[in-house]
Protein backbone atom coordinates (compact mmCIF):
# COMPACT_ATOMS: atom_id res chain seq x y z
CA UNK A 1 0.00 0.00 0.00
CA UNK A 2 2.78 2.39 0.88
CA UNK A 3 4.40 1.66 -2.52
CA UNK A 4 1.20 2.43 -4.47
CA UNK A 5 0.83 5.79 -2.70
CA UNK A 6 4.41 6.68 -3.66
CA UNK A 7 3.74 5.67 -7.26
CA UNK A 8 0.60 7.84 -7.36
CA UNK A 9 2.48 10.81 -5.87
CA UNK A 10 5.35 10.33 -8.30
CA UNK A 11 2.96 9.99 -11.24
CA UNK A 12 1.03 13.10 -10.13
CA UNK A 13 4.27 15.10 -9.87
CA UNK A 14 5.40 13.87 -13.29
CA UNK A 15 2.09 14.83 -14.89
CA UNK A 16 2.13 18.22 -13.15
CA UNK A 17 5.71 18.87 -14.31
CA UNK A 18 4.91 17.81 -17.88
CA UNK A 19 1.83 20.05 -17.99
CA UNK A 20 3.81 22.97 -16.56
CA UNK A 21 6.53 22.56 -19.18
CA UNK A 22 3.95 22.26 -21.94
CA UNK A 23 2.19 25.40 -20.72
CA UNK A 24 5.44 27.37 -20.46
CA UNK A 25 6.65 26.35 -23.91
CA UNK A 26 3.33 27.28 -25.49
CA UNK A 27 3.60 30.82 -24.06
CA UNK A 28 7.19 31.12 -25.24
CA UNK A 29 6.32 29.91 -28.74
CA UNK A 30 3.67 32.61 -29.32
CA UNK A 31 5.97 35.34 -28.09
CA UNK A 32 8.79 34.13 -30.29
CA UNK A 33 6.49 34.13 -33.33
CA UNK A 34 5.54 37.80 -33.21
CA UNK A 35 9.05 38.83 -32.19
CA UNK A 36 10.38 36.94 -35.21
CA UNK A 37 7.77 38.60 -37.44
CA UNK A 38 8.85 42.05 -36.25
CA UNK A 39 12.50 41.18 -36.76
CA UNK A 40 11.85 39.91 -40.31
CA UNK A 41 9.92 43.08 -41.09
CA UNK A 42 12.80 45.22 -39.79
CA UNK A 43 15.35 43.21 -41.77
CA UNK A 44 13.36 43.55 -45.03
CA UNK A 45 12.92 47.26 -44.38
CA UNK A 46 16.65 47.70 -43.78
CA UNK A 47 17.59 45.83 -46.96
CA UNK A 48 14.90 47.17 -49.29
CA UNK A 49 14.53 50.75 -48.08
CA UNK A 50 17.39 51.87 -45.83
CA UNK A 51 20.44 50.35 -47.54
CA UNK A 52 19.71 51.95 -50.95
CA UNK A 53 19.73 55.30 -49.10
CA UNK A 54 23.14 54.64 -47.59
CA UNK A 55 21.83 53.63 -44.16
CA UNK A 56 23.02 50.56 -42.28
CA UNK A 57 20.91 48.91 -39.56
CA UNK A 58 23.11 48.68 -36.47
CA UNK A 59 20.58 48.36 -33.62
CA UNK A 60 17.25 46.56 -33.33
CA UNK A 61 15.02 45.98 -30.34
CA UNK A 62 11.79 47.10 -28.79
CA UNK A 63 9.18 46.48 -26.15
CA UNK A 64 7.52 43.16 -26.95
CA UNK A 65 6.65 41.50 -23.67
CA UNK A 66 2.99 40.61 -24.33
CA UNK A 67 2.58 42.19 -27.75
CA UNK A 68 4.49 44.62 -29.97
CA UNK A 69 4.37 47.89 -28.09
CA UNK A 70 7.48 49.47 -29.56
CA UNK A 71 10.08 48.80 -32.24
CA UNK A 72 13.52 50.38 -31.90
CA UNK A 73 15.71 50.84 -34.95
CA UNK A 74 19.15 52.41 -35.05
CA UNK A 75 20.86 53.24 -38.31
CA UNK A 76 24.26 54.59 -39.26
CA UNK A 77 24.82 56.78 -42.29
CA UNK A 78 28.15 57.73 -43.82
CA UNK A 79 26.64 60.70 -45.66
CA UNK A 80 26.97 64.19 -44.17
CA UNK A 81 23.60 65.96 -44.19
CA UNK A 82 22.25 69.35 -43.22
CA UNK A 83 19.30 69.60 -40.83
CA UNK A 84 16.95 70.05 -43.80
CA UNK A 85 18.33 67.00 -45.62
CA UNK A 86 18.38 64.91 -42.43
CA UNK A 87 14.75 65.83 -41.72
CA UNK A 88 13.71 64.45 -45.12
CA UNK A 89 15.65 61.23 -44.45
CA UNK A 90 14.05 60.84 -41.05
CA UNK A 91 10.48 61.50 -42.16
CA UNK A 92 10.79 59.18 -45.16
CA UNK A 93 12.29 56.45 -42.95
CA UNK A 94 9.56 56.79 -40.32
CA UNK A 95 6.67 56.95 -42.78
CA UNK A 96 7.91 53.94 -44.75
CA UNK A 97 8.33 51.81 -41.63
CA UNK A 98 4.88 52.83 -40.35
CA UNK A 99 3.38 51.97 -43.73
CA UNK A 100 5.07 48.56 -43.74
CA UNK A 101 4.15 47.56 -40.18
CA UNK A 102 0.55 48.80 -40.46
CA UNK A 103 -0.05 47.08 -43.81
CA UNK A 104 1.39 43.72 -42.67
CA UNK A 105 -1.74 41.69 -41.95
CA UNK A 106 0.26 38.87 -40.33
CA UNK A 107 1.77 41.13 -37.66
CA UNK A 108 -1.27 43.38 -37.14
CA UNK A 109 -3.00 41.23 -34.45
CA UNK A 110 0.15 41.49 -32.31
CA UNK A 111 0.46 45.28 -32.46
CA UNK A 112 -0.30 46.90 -29.11
CA UNK A 113 -2.27 49.56 -30.97
CA UNK A 114 -3.37 49.76 -34.56
CA UNK A 115 -2.50 51.77 -36.42
CA UNK A 116 1.05 51.88 -35.08
CA UNK A 117 2.17 55.50 -34.75
CA UNK A 118 5.49 57.32 -34.59
CA UNK A 119 5.29 57.09 -30.78
CA UNK A 120 5.63 53.31 -31.17
CA UNK A 121 8.81 53.59 -33.24
CA UNK A 122 12.14 54.60 -31.74
CA UNK A 123 14.12 55.52 -34.82
CA UNK A 124 17.63 56.89 -34.40
CA UNK A 125 20.13 57.76 -37.08
CA UNK A 126 23.80 58.38 -36.37
CA UNK A 127 26.15 59.95 -38.89
CA UNK A 128 29.77 58.80 -39.12
CA UNK A 129 32.64 59.66 -41.42
CA UNK A 130 34.28 57.14 -43.73
CA UNK A 131 36.56 55.94 -40.89
CA UNK A 132 33.61 55.27 -38.57
CA UNK A 133 34.12 58.36 -36.38
CA UNK A 134 31.17 60.51 -35.37
CA UNK A 135 30.71 63.46 -37.74
CA UNK A 136 31.72 66.75 -36.16
CA UNK A 137 32.25 70.37 -37.31
CA UNK A 138 28.62 71.40 -36.81
CA UNK A 139 27.12 68.71 -39.04
CA UNK A 140 24.22 66.53 -37.94
CA UNK A 141 25.83 63.69 -35.99
CA UNK A 142 22.73 62.09 -34.51
CA UNK A 143 18.98 62.44 -34.74
CA UNK A 144 15.94 60.83 -33.22
CA UNK A 145 12.78 61.33 -31.21
CA UNK A 146 13.26 61.31 -27.45
CA UNK A 147 10.84 61.08 -24.52
CA UNK A 148 9.25 64.51 -24.96
CA UNK A 149 8.23 63.55 -28.53
CA UNK A 150 10.64 66.07 -30.05
CA UNK A 151 12.81 65.25 -33.01
CA UNK A 152 16.32 66.26 -32.03
CA UNK A 153 19.18 66.99 -34.38
CA UNK A 154 22.50 66.92 -32.53
CA UNK A 155 26.03 67.81 -33.55
CA UNK A 156 29.21 66.48 -31.96
CA UNK A 157 32.10 68.45 -30.48
CA UNK A 158 35.10 66.17 -30.94
CA UNK A 159 37.31 68.25 -28.61
CA UNK A 160 34.86 68.10 -25.70
CA UNK A 161 33.60 64.66 -26.78
CA UNK A 162 30.00 65.80 -26.27
CA UNK A 163 26.87 66.11 -28.33
CA UNK A 164 25.05 69.44 -28.48
CA UNK A 165 21.66 70.43 -29.89
CA UNK A 166 21.48 71.85 -33.39
CA UNK A 167 17.72 71.92 -33.80
CA UNK A 168 14.52 70.43 -32.41
CA UNK A 169 10.93 70.21 -33.59
CA UNK A 170 7.94 67.95 -33.12
CA UNK A 171 7.58 65.06 -35.52
CA UNK A 172 4.32 66.62 -36.75
CA UNK A 173 6.22 69.81 -37.66
CA UNK A 174 8.90 67.82 -39.48
CA UNK A 175 6.25 65.84 -41.38
CA UNK A 176 4.44 69.04 -42.47
CA UNK A 177 7.70 70.66 -43.61
CA UNK A 178 8.62 67.63 -45.73
CA UNK A 179 5.10 67.30 -47.15
CA UNK A 180 5.07 71.01 -48.09
CA UNK A 181 8.49 70.70 -49.74
CA UNK A 182 7.25 67.77 -51.81
CA UNK A 183 4.11 69.70 -52.86
CA UNK A 184 6.23 72.66 -53.98
CA UNK A 185 8.51 70.35 -55.95
CA UNK A 186 5.57 69.08 -58.04
Inter-CA distances, 126 with 3, 64, 73, Å: 69, 24, 11
Q: What is the pLDDT of residues 81-99, one digit of tens each?
A: 999 999 999 999 999 999 9
Q: What is the pLDDT of residues 17-58, one digit of tens each?
A: 444 555 555 554 444 588 899 999 999 999 999 999 999 999
pTM assigned to the model: 0.79
For the chain, the structural domain boundaries read 30-185
pLDDT band at 77 (very low <50, low <70, confident <90, very high): very high
pLDDT band at 162 (very low <50, low <70, confident <90, very high): very high
Let me know: does 121 contact 60? Beta carbons within 8 Å.
no
Amino acid sequence: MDMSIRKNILMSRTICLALSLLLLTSFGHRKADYCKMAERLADRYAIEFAQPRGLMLCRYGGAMMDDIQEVSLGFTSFIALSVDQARIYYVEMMEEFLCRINSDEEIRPYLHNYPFEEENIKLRIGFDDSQGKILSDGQVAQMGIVKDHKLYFAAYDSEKEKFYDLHEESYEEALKIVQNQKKRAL
